[in-house]
Amino acid sequence: EDDILQRVGASDSDDSDNDDTSDSQSTARLAPIHTGVKRVNLMELVYGTTEDGSLASSVDTDDRIKPVSAGGEIDEGNLRKFFITNPGDSDDEEGSADEEEGDAGDFEDLEAGSGSEDEKSGSGSDDGASGSVDDDESEEEENEFGLPADKMKKLKNKFDRVYDSDDEDGEKKDFYQQQKDVLQKYVDDTRTEMDELATINYRWAGEYVKVVIEDMPYEFMQGLDPTLPIVLGGISNEEGLSLITLRIKRHRWYPKILKTGDPIVVSVGWRRFQTIPTYFMNDRIKNRMLKYTPEHLHCSAAIYSPYIQPGTGFCAYYMKRAHNFGVAATGTVLENSQAIDVVKKIKLTGLPEKIHKHTAYIKRMFNTSLEVAKFEGAAIKTVSGIRGQVKKAFGNNGVFRATFEDRIKASDIVFLRAFHTIPIKKFYNPITSLLSVTYMRTIAEIRRSKNLAVPNKKDSHYKPIERVVKRFNPVRVPKALEAELPFKSKTKQVKTNNPARAVVLDKEDKR
């Protein structure tokens, strides 16, 4: 403490003698001194000490209390150096080095007094050197994040690799360029590895190769056109055959609607093939078969073909173009499946053979008892609206026993409404441009080629419905029952004794 006060007094005397060099000398002499064991008492610096070394009392503060910059020449920055504890906040390297040295625990003897300026400057330089060494050692041991130096170095290297640019020009690459560099590096590594494998024959994309295919059909060479390119390849994941569900719509410019069962050519992806579609519509319960496609609506179709990616678009046409516009339908692929349940509505009719109260035996609806067993429990109904149910087979000729809500008549017709599953026709015929392949024809084309007329079935014709009005006998109530009925429910017979009189009109009445 005495040395610090001595420096302050010396700076005041020097400032009075030499005004030009006062700032530099005071700055050099007022370098803060921090020790590791013995710390500076701020109260002694502010209020000073007595001759015996004790702290001045607060009674005689007028004579004792003096500021450190007694001469008024020391600015606020020099005074702040006495209170600096963080080496990073000080601009003086020597002060930071001395503070680090104090943290390391070194002790400096302050009783030796002050020597010449050269000795002080030499000692200051030595202290600065030692302080820098201690600073490095302290940074190796611990930094401001509290991590070891080796770990901080690894983190810094990782940060440099991620965020620093590798270009020589110093331009930072964007994400797209970085990805291109990664792919290019992958290709280069692959080429390097493949070049080492001399036993594998491979060709890179863009090279010209010669392909020799053995056992080619003669028809292919006969119809080959060298000016047309030929695409070689295979679709490995689309080789198996399955049932495909399509969403199809007749093209607005095609004049006719499409019929179920007529073979049609489907062009999808790299393939063209002929198949037999089955059109249907889903009513949220079942897939009901359609004989013809709707006029202006979408419908579904089931075909048999190789696997097709769902969502792929396609177009369909017939082999023989009978109209000006060739595209018959367009649509998309919905799904691939192994089974599609398409049902068709059927209506079976029968006649009563025997009637016994609410039970009746029905004939001419089934042919065998096996068919009856398939429809056991099915609901049936008469033309008059009496509902019933199929029970058991009676004999082997298709007659079965049924029960009804009420007694039916012998003239009633019993019918059964049901749905029959339609099997999907598994037909797949690939279309080849350079090979002669036999294609399936429609039924209409076969009839035209053989001059066959359309079969005429009388049962298929629509006939006018003639319903005979039935006359029922009047209701006859037994006399015993009628006697027990209340008066309002009895039959009323009004008898009059007055015979009917003839009315003769006069001339005036006739008018």
What mean pLDDT value characterizes the chain?
A: 77
DSSP 357: T
DSSP H/E element including 244: strand 241-250
Digits of tens for pLDDT over the chain (511 positions)? 455 444 444 445 554 455 544 444 444 444 444 444 456 666 666 666 555 555 544 444 444 444 444 455 556 666 665 555 554 444 444 444 454 444 444 444 554 444 444 444 444 444 444 445 455 555 445 566 778 888 888 888 888 877 765 554 556 678 888 899 999 999 888 888 877 776 667 777 778 888 888 888 888 888 788 888 887 776 767 778 999 999 999 999 999 999 999 999 999 988 899 999 999 999 988 999 999 999 999 999 999 999 999 999 999 999 887 777 889 999 999 999 999 999 999 999 999 999 999 999 999 999 999 999 999 999 999 998 999 999 999 988 999 999 999 999 998 999 999 999 999 999 999 988 777 778 898 888 899 999 999 889 888 888 888 888 878 888 888 989 988 999 888 888 777 676 666 666 677 766 5
- pLDDT of res. 306: 93
For 358, residues 6+ apart whose C-beta sits below 8 A from its C-beta are 403, 404, 405, 406, 407
**Helix H segments across 279-427?**
369-374
Alpha carbon distance 182, 91 (integer Å): 46
- pLDDT of res. 79: 60
Alpha carbon distance 424, 430 (integer Å): 18
- pLDDT of res. 373: 94
Q: Do 360 and 348 touch, CB atoms closer than 8 A?
A: no
Burial of 138 (0-12, 13-18, 19+ CB in 10 A): middle
Greatest C-alpha distance within the chain: 175
Q: Do 287 and 281 touch, CB atoms closer than 8 A?
A: yes
Torsion of CA 66, 69, 72, 75, to 10 degrees: -140
Q: Do 25 and 11 touch, CB atoms closer than 8 A?
A: yes
Cα-based angle 483, 484, 486 (whole degrees, multiple of 5) = 95
Cα-based angle 417, 420, 423 (whole degrees, multiple of 5) = 165
Rounded to 5 degrees, what are φ and ψ at 417? -100, 130
Taking the CB of residue 402, how many other CB atoms lie within 10 A of it?
23
Is 0.85 topped by the overall pTM? Answer: no
- pLDDT of res. 142: 55
